[in-house]
Chains A and B, each alone.
Chain A
Amino acid sequence: MKGFLGVDVGSVSTNIVVVDADGKLLVDRYLRTSGRPIEVVQQGIYDIGKELAGDVEILAAGTTGSARFLTSMIVGADVVKNEITAHAVAASNIVPGVRTIIEIGGQDSKIIILRDGVVTDFAMNTVCAAGTGSFLDQQASRLLIPIEEFGNYALKAKNPVRIAGRCAVFAESDMVHKQQLGYNTEDIIAGLCEALVRNYMNNVGKGKEILDPIIFQGGVAANAGLVQAFNHYLNTEVTVPPYFGVMGAIGAALLAKDIYAKKGSTNFKGFNLRDIKYVTTSFECKGCSNACEVVQFYQNGELLARWGDRCGKWELQID
């Protein structure tokens, strides 16, 4: 069988998928990045290769996420795309006709507006990470509730309390305050979900024309409490697609499929990445006052690429 590989390396999770020639998902992995993107990608791709057991030939690979460039060097990608475009591509393939995408990940949240399958507008949180996955993670562990259970607590609430959602720091002190007053955990968690939705709508959603069908994706879409809060706020039903957590990676794989149709060959290095030794080093260029930090990327001791300089003096890329 033929397949296409997509890798999405974000701040919190690393997602790897393989789709078939029709764009159908064959296999997916949702891993924690844990600040070690190179090793996680190597191991993840190796594991996927083992699971597919030689049944699937990868025709092309794509990467996305904040580590997309580094990842493309590791796997040998044919296309490197920003996560906004990747998410939009995946969503419009899985839910044809989608007009609004709500995407909340580990450290960023975005809204993407599509019309007739084309992105017409988008926004991403700028200076504030309130309401993203990292904050929910932190609150869940503070309340000693596994993050997987967090949303279900909210569903049990009878009377959500009001929490100030504008800033994660103040939201937390507001929550602590309400706890000390004796409100029950369910109501507080439900209140938090509502606050986060309010913050999202006032921050990234401001001034956007939000029309049905609406998709809610990204790791945070696993939280049933937030889904309910969005439904309530928007007064409609948001759809959580089956592979909501790996949509970015699916998008990258679909983009790889498009590129393959044009190019007909691939740079993909194969599943056996675990045996390759990747090392990055960096140095500060002393050429001018900009003092750029240049990153050097080595594969088995051989310099493969250099980036990070503003003037292009050090830039190097060997295909």
Chain B
Amino acid sequence: MKISFPHMGYSYIALKWLVENLGHECIVPPEPSKRTLDLGVRHAPEFACIPYKILMGTYLEVAEMGAELILSSGGRGPCRAGYYWVMHRYLLEELGLDVKLIAFEPPLNDLKGFFKTIHWLRKTGGRSVKEVLNALEVTWEKIKALDDLELCSHETRPYEVNRGDTTRALWKGLDMVDQANTLAELAEARHEGLRLLESVPRDNSRNPLKIGIIGEIYVVLEPAANHYIQIMLGEMGVHTDRSIYLSAYTRNNTIVNLEGDIKAMARPYLNADTIGGHGVNSVAETVLYAKHGFDGVVQLAPFACIPEIVAKGILPTISQEYGIPVLTIFIDEQTGKAGVQTRLEAFVDLLQRRRENKAKSERLAI
């Protein structure tokens, strides 16, 4: 079977490997482009948010490339994105396309359903249980390696001497992870990729500002949807840390996973366990970044995203209590990056001045 899935950052490298090792052919989704958006906008309801439109466009593109099955994800809570796959399925049917769409619900919600789908993919692909278990393990390790390399690139970029060196080193590393087929090869690729990033010429005399990136999962994870904001900020000399990594649940080197109960952090400001999407997380993560000494926070939200709008209403209070500036950027169909660049530059100016003033008053206090 020819299988495809949504494009989300660099995860396609791991998912491609999984599909192929379940015994199927993979149609790798193209990075979301202007064409993806055009296709998505043409067939989506006007009021749907940008993740819906980009996914719709991606599905139409992979269908064109011959995909017979698209694997997507569901979701829990009141955010409408959890039902997008149902809408997408109707639309694909309506357009008369011969492509099936199935969604994985979060394993915590529906463990049985999750394994049933995997089992079915295994049987149709003609693989043994052992082979599939191995494939799942390697895939997971790949996801972790991809995240490791990306994390390292965001730490390295603000120090780079020649613009673009870090990004090019990262691409080479990702390519090596892509080529690895066993756990041993993967470990080597990861190691070699990190080494490449570490050997990027650096100016260690810099003291980069630190900005946390929070918001809705799709626009946070897909650089093509957020104007490559982490690369843009990195090249302005800012170290960014983002709140969401696919492998985050198992790692202890991302800020957001250092503290236990994220909902408890949000509770003083928002006494509800879920308002859908990543709304509660955005509130809690702002507190977290402030506590970890970050200079500022950028919130990424799809235009009209209710969970993020609720969070946005709460953020000024946190911003004031903890003294951490927050910039909200709404993402919609515009592709011009000049507006985003202007806001980010001004935000970086603001943070820089704050830092200088703080240093000055601390010197005075001594």
**By the criterion CB–CB under 8 Å, are B167 and A119 in contact?**
no
In the complex, B140 has a CB within 8 A of chain A:
no
Q: Which of B163, B228, B349 contacts A119 (CB 8 A)?
A: B349
Interface contact B350-A207, CB-CB below 8 Å: no
Chain A, residues 205-236, CB within 8 Å of chain B (1/0): the string is 00110000000000000000000000000000
Does B345 belong to the interface (CB within 8 Å)?
yes
With beta carbons under 8 angstroms apart, the residue of B30, B231, B313 that contacts A310 is B231
Query: What are the interface flags for A283-295 relative to B under an 8 Å C-beta threshold, 1 for contact and 0 otherwise?
Result: 0000001110000
How far does the alpha carbon of A82 sit from the alpha carbon of B236 in the complex, in Å? 13
B-side interface mostly: helix
Q: How far is the CB of B313 from chain A (nearest CB, A)?
A: 7
A78 at the interface (CB under 8 A from B): no
Is there contact, CB below 8 Å, between A66 and B329? no
Within 8 A of B (CB), among A93-145: 108, 118-122, 124, 126-127
Q: Which residue of A lies closest to B312 (CB)?
A: A207
Among the listed stretches A14-22, A36-44, A311-319, which one makes contact with chain B, having 4 or more residues with CB under 8 Å of it? Answer: A311-319
Q: How far is the CB of B66 from chain A (nearest CB, A)?
A: 18
In whole angstroms, what is the CA distance A118 to B352 when docked? 11
**Cα A289 to Cα B171 with chains together (Å):** 13
A83 CB within 8 Å of chain B: yes
The interface residues of chain B lying within 8 Å CB-to-CB of A81 are 345, 349
With known contacts A127-B332, A310-B231, A118–B353 Cβ distance under 8 A? yes
Residue of A nearest to B231 (CB): A310
Tell me, yes or no, whether B251 is within 8 Å of chain A by CB. Answer: no
Q: Are B353 and A119 in contact (CB under 8 A)?
A: yes
List chain A residues, Cβ under 8 A from B343. 84, 124
B342 and A127: CB pair below 8 A?
no
Is B357 in contact with chain A by the CB < 8 A criterion?
A: yes
* A120-B354, A289-B31, A312-B162 known; A207+B313 contact, CB < 8 A: yes
Q: Which residue of B lies closest to A83 (CB)?
A: B342
Q: Is the CB of A310 within 8 A of B228?
A: yes
| In the complex, residue of chain B having the shortest beta-carbon distance to the beta carbon of A107 | B339
CB contacts (< 8 Å) of A311 on chain B: these are 164, 167-168
Per the 8 Å Cβ criterion, residues 160-212 of B in contact with A are 162-165, 167-168
Quick one: which of A84, A312, A313 contacts B346, CB cutoff 8 A? Answer: A84
Minimum distance in angstroms from B246 CB to a CB of chain A: 22
Q: Mark B79-112, 1 if CB is under 8 A from A, else 0.
A: 0000000000000000000000000000000000
What CA separation (Å) do A313 and B342 show in the bound complex?
Answer: 23
**Chain A neighbourhood of B30, CB < 8 A:** 289
Query: Is residue A152 within 8 Å, beta carbon to beta carbon, of the partner chain?
Result: no
Contact of A84 among B33, B164, B338, B342 (CB under 8 A): B342
Q: Is there an interface contact between A127 and B334, defined as CB atoms closer than 8 Å? A: yes
By the criterion CB–CB under 8 Å, are A126 and B346 in contact? no
A136 to chain B, nearest CB (A): 20
Identify the closest chain A residue to B168 (Cβ). Answer: A311
Chain A hits for B33, CB < 8 A: 289, 291
Closest CB-CB distance, B86 to chain A, in whole Å?
A: 27
In this assembly, does B325 line the interface, its C-beta being within 8 Å of a C-beta of chain A?
A: yes
CB neighbours (8 Å) of A184 from chain B are none
Choose from B228, B325, B339, B342 the contact partner of A121 (Cβ within 8 Å).
Answer: B325
B334 touches A312 (CB 8 A): no
* Least CB separation from A126: chain B residue: B330
**The residue from A85, A120, A207, A312 contacting B163, defined by CB atoms under 8 A apart:** A312
In the complex, what distance in Å separates the CA atom of A1 from the CA atom of B164? 43
- A119 near B350 with CB under 8 A, answer yes
Residues from chain B with a CB closer than 8 A to the CB of A122 are 346-347, 350
B78 at the interface (CB under 8 A from A): no
B347: chain A residues at CB < 8 Å are 122
Whole-angstrom CA separation of A172 from B334 in the bound complex: 23
B114 interface hit (Cβ, 8 Å):
no
Chain A proximity of B13: nearest CB distance (Å):
14
Q: A290 CA to B312 CA in the complex, in Å?
A: 32
- For B164, give its contact among A120, A124, A315 (CB under 8 Å): A315
Q: Is B10 in the interface zone, CB < 8 Å from A?
A: no
Provide the bound-state CA to CA distance between A116 and B315, in Å: 23
Flag if A127 contacts B303 (CB, 8 Å). Answer: yes
Chain A positions 62 through 99: 1 when the CB is less than 8 Å from some CB of chain B, otherwise 0:
00001000000000000001111100000000000000
- The digit string for A244-274, where 1 denotes a CB below 8 A from any CB of B, is 0000000000000000000000000000000
Known: A289-B30, A315-B163. A82 touches B349 (CB 8 A): yes
With both chains docked as a complex, state the minimum distance between the C-beta of B229 and any C-beta of chain A, in angstroms: 13
Interface flag for B316 (CB, 8 Å): yes
How many angstroms between the C-alpha atoms of A207 and B319 in the bound complex? Answer: 11
Q: How far is the CA of A49 from the CA of B209 in the complex (A)?
A: 41
User: Would B330 and A82 count as touching, CB distance under 8 A?
Assistant: no
Q: Cα distance A85–B332 when bound, in Å? A: 25
Q: Chain A 178-214 against B: per-residue CB contact (8 Å), 1 yes, 0 no? A: 0000000000000000000000000000011000000
**Interface readout for B311-322 with A: 1 if CB under 8 Å, 0 if not?**
011011001000
Interface string of B335-362 (1 = CB under 8 A from A): 0001101110111011001100100000
B342 and A82 contacting across the interface, CB-CB below 8 Å: yes
- Whether B357 and A66, one on each chain, are in contact in the complex, defined by CB atoms closer than 8 angstroms, is no
Residues of the B chain whose Cβ atoms lie less than 8 Å from the Cβ of A83: 342, 346
CB distance from A92 to the nearest CB of B (A): 12
Return the chain B residue nearest A291 by Cβ. B33
> Closest 5 CB pairs between A and B?
A312-B164, A84-B346, A82-B345, A207-B316, A312-B163
B residues near A, CB below 8 A? Answer: 30-31, 33, 162-165, 167-168, 228, 231, 303, 312-313, 315-316, 319, 325, 329-330, 332, 334, 338-339, 341-343, 345-347, 349-350, 353-354, 357
- What are 8 A-B contacts with C-beta separation under 8 Å? A85-B346, A118-B354, A118-B357, A119-B353, A120-B354, A124-B343, A127-B334, A315-B163
Excluding A312-B164, A312-B165, 6 further A-B contacts by CB distance (< 8 Å) are A118-B354, A120-B354, A122-B347, A124-B339, A124-B342, A207-B312
